Structure 1
Amino acid sequence: MTKDQWLAIRKAFPGQEKKPWTVLVWLADIALMGAAWTLWNADALLSNLAAWLVAGFALVQLYLIMHEATHNTVAASRFLNDVVGHGAAWFIGLPYLVRKQNHLAHHAWTAHPVHDPENRAMIAKFAVMTEKEAHRLERMWKYWIPMIAANHFLGHWLAPFRARAAGDRSIRNRKQLLFACVYLAGYATVFVIAWRHEALGTLAGFYLPVWVFLLAMVEMLNLPHHAEAPILAEDHEGLSLWEQDGVSHDCATVPLWSRFVILNFNLHIAHHLFPWLPWYRLPQASAALAAARTGSSPETLSEVVFSLRNRRRPLLSLMGHFFDRRERRGGQGIPILDAPRH
């Protein structure tokens, strides 16, 4: 997309007053977690299955609402926005402040190998990976074991502690450490209460399968958006917002699923070009982008179809070849492209 096209569309989508929909969905999802726990304690097979289904739906939406909070699109009040972000993040086990810092850097430096934290983390992992580890990763990918998402969550927990150990004494890092400790204290409190009521097994049986399901959903929802998009050269100054359609992909819109389950998370191009828009405005922005597009529209697949097709492919052929810096026979590594494809 050209700058002029982007500016013309932007006029219709300036910074807007935040509507209460995201806060209401957040409250509803927390209530659903409570309802799921009640169903789980009914101690009947159908109730247990319903509890997993309800809790899985709620956790996925809480992850997406936390994503909204990282962009400050939940509410006009920054305090309320962050309360919602922390509340959602605590349920899903992902520290909000670290996630917010990294995700905003991802948007500012999309496709950059160093300044985009997502790419930097992938490159660091692939650079030291042995052939044995590569084969193990391929097996986990083939069998839908969500190790990429699990490593993503773990990396966010470790980041502020690693920064502290490296000498970071900034206010930002101290705040991240403080909230990480608050989260951990909350988890410890739940653990002690469950232990004193002899309900640890009950709690683990309810929550752990749902959390693993969340990790699988995080991979399924996120990987299509930048798969097979090349990364920039290390000296690249970064892409402008109107250039990011060249390294971002949409997934197909599926009735009910896309709007009411994943909160339009599939409309990733519109999200990258207009990151200040809340989820309920993305369909209009996406339609405006489609109207301005010249030529044929690129093929889009739903998240499920993308996964079913690509889990049969080697992970390195899907995305890893843009991150793999290990030396190959003949001393040739994998090059970084100078610019994204359009």
Structure 2
Amino acid sequence: MVAVPPTPSVIDVDTVRAPADSRGVAWWRRWEIPTWLVAVAIYGAWAGLVLFHDAIPWPLLVLAGAYVLAWHFSLQHEAIHGWRSIPLWLRTALVWPPIGGWLPFALYRHSHTVHHRNHNLTYPGLDTESVYHREEDWARYSKAWRAVLMFNQTLLGRMLIGPVLRLRKLLLTEGALVRAGDFRNGGIWLRFAVGLAAVLWFVSSVAHMPIWKYYLLMVYPAFSLGLVRAFIEHRWGEHPEERVASVESNWVFGLLFLWNNLHIVHHLDPVLPWYEIPGAYRRDREGLLRRNGSYVFRGYGEIARRWLLRPVFIPIHPRGAPDKAVTLAAHRGA
């Protein structure tokens, strides 16, 4: 049975300790060797792809580059919740290098921690990762903007324009702070700029890879690939557990997302190491699916077949009226 936190509050990522039953297990689990191996593989593959980019056909560079950079984002996610065998400063340092090229890790860490207030899942303005909009906001949007947002509710749209919309949201949020005279994130952005400059120096001056090529063939595709996981993992549900999906995918995507595709397990036990998620899921699959209202898919192929060109749900949040007819059949888990 997956352990459930006693209250649906924010996880204090600085103080949560590794589970007591981790004592006495095999050394590779106690020291989280699988996570170390993933980190070595990511940085080694990234350096190899960049250094030998000229010798790699561009379609292969897109596929491999997207996988490696999206994998790094998954490692950052793991560092927020897990990797408890090393101190916070070290795991932060290990995932901090901004090879993904767009988001400071400190900002992601904060917003994702807020996201784990399970009772606020999907609520716009409360859940930092919600794609929903309040009904009154939707009513005042132009037809063109509504069309853009609905296209973003298709898998193709999420991959094509999702990164742009996420960047827009980030810039609007940070810009609002600056306009209000709040410079709390100034140090974060300064350190990010220094780190990104170092990354791009390596890319352009050491590997002689044009920066535009790095962003076009590696960064943007990785951003798109990462949004494939986020596309389906949350929806409105009467109870918080019904708002979290499970995608029973293969090892290719499982390893890429560090099994966060089995998302119901992660939200019920967010400090469970990534490599223990599949076992926890297998042991209590029926119970987990009862708790999340059978919000389950057999893989990302099924998701693509159903929603590549069709909106997965209308992004108007039915807060206070869960029976309101604002959802498509998919939104009800059909």
Query: Above 0.5 in TM-score?
Result: yes
Does residue 110 (structure 1) correspond to residue 117 (structure 2)? The answer is: no
Once the two structures are aligned, what percentage of the paired residues are identical?
18
Does residue 147 (structure 1) correspond to residue 161 (structure 2)? The answer is: yes
CA distance in 2, matches of 1:29, 1:309: 32
> Which residue in 2 is equivalent to 1:248?
244
> Which residue in 1 is equivalent to 2:14?
none
Of 123, 126, 130, which residue of structure 2 is paired with 1:119? 130
CA distance in 2, matches of 1:49, 1:294: 38
Does residue 301 (structure 1) correspond to residue 312 (structure 2)? The answer is: no
Deviation at 1:128, TM superposition (A): 4.8
User: Please, which moves more after superposition, 276-285 or 302-311?
Assistant: 302-311
| Equivalent pair of 1:73/1:277 in contact (CA under 8 Å) | no
Of 79, 93, 100, which residue of structure 2 is paired with 1:91? 100
Unaligned runs of 5+ in 1: 233-242, 323-333
User: Please, which moves more after superposition, 285-294 or 58-67?
Assistant: 285-294
Of 220, 227, 232, which residue of structure 1 is paired with 2:228? 220
Q: Aligned ranges for residues 27-176 of structure 1 at < 5 Å?
A: 27-42=40-55, 47-73=57-83, 75-87=85-97, 89-108=98-117, 109-119=120-130, 122-123=133-134, 126=138, 128-139=140-151, 143-144=156-157, 145-156=159-170, 159-168=173-182, 173=184, 176=185
> Which residue in 1 is equivalent to 2:321?
337
Are the structure 2 counterparts of residues 311 and 38 from structure 1 closer, same or farther at C-alpha, using a change threshold of 3 Å? same
SS in 2 for 1:73: coil
Aligned positions, number = 300
CA distance in 2, matches of 1:335, 1:6: 25
Q: Which structure ranks higher in relative contact order (CA pairs < 8 Å, sequence separation ≥ 6)?
A: 2
SS in 1 for 2:100: helix
Q: Aligned ranges for residues 186-335 of structure 1 at < 5 Å?
A: 186-188=195-197, 199=208, 202-227=210-235, 229-230=236-237, 244-254=240-250, 256-292=251-287, 299-314=296-311, 318-322=313-317
Deviations 1:161-207 (A, max 9, x none): 532432446xxx3xx3212112223334555677779957x332243
Deviation at 1:32, TM superposition (A): 0.7
| Equivalent pair of 2:66/2:225 in contact (CA under 8 Å) | no
| Equivalent pair of 1:252/1:301 in contact (CA under 8 Å) | yes
Does residue 14 (structure 1) correspond to residue 26 (structure 2)? The answer is: no
| Equivalent pair of 1:39/1:50 in contact (CA under 8 Å) | no
SS in 2 for 1:264: coil
> Which residue in 1 is equivalent to 2:15?
none
Unaligned runs of 5+ in 2: 7-17, 23-29, 324-330
Are the structure 2 counterparts of residues 75 and 165 from structure 1 closer, same or farther at C-alpha, using a change threshold of 3 Å? farther
CA distance in 2, matches of 1:116, 1:311: 25
Q: TM-score, normalised by structure 1?
A: 0.73
Q: Cα RMSD between the aligned structures?
A: 3.7
CA distance in 1, matches of 2:105, 2:88: 14
> Which residue in 1 is equivalent to 2:327?
none
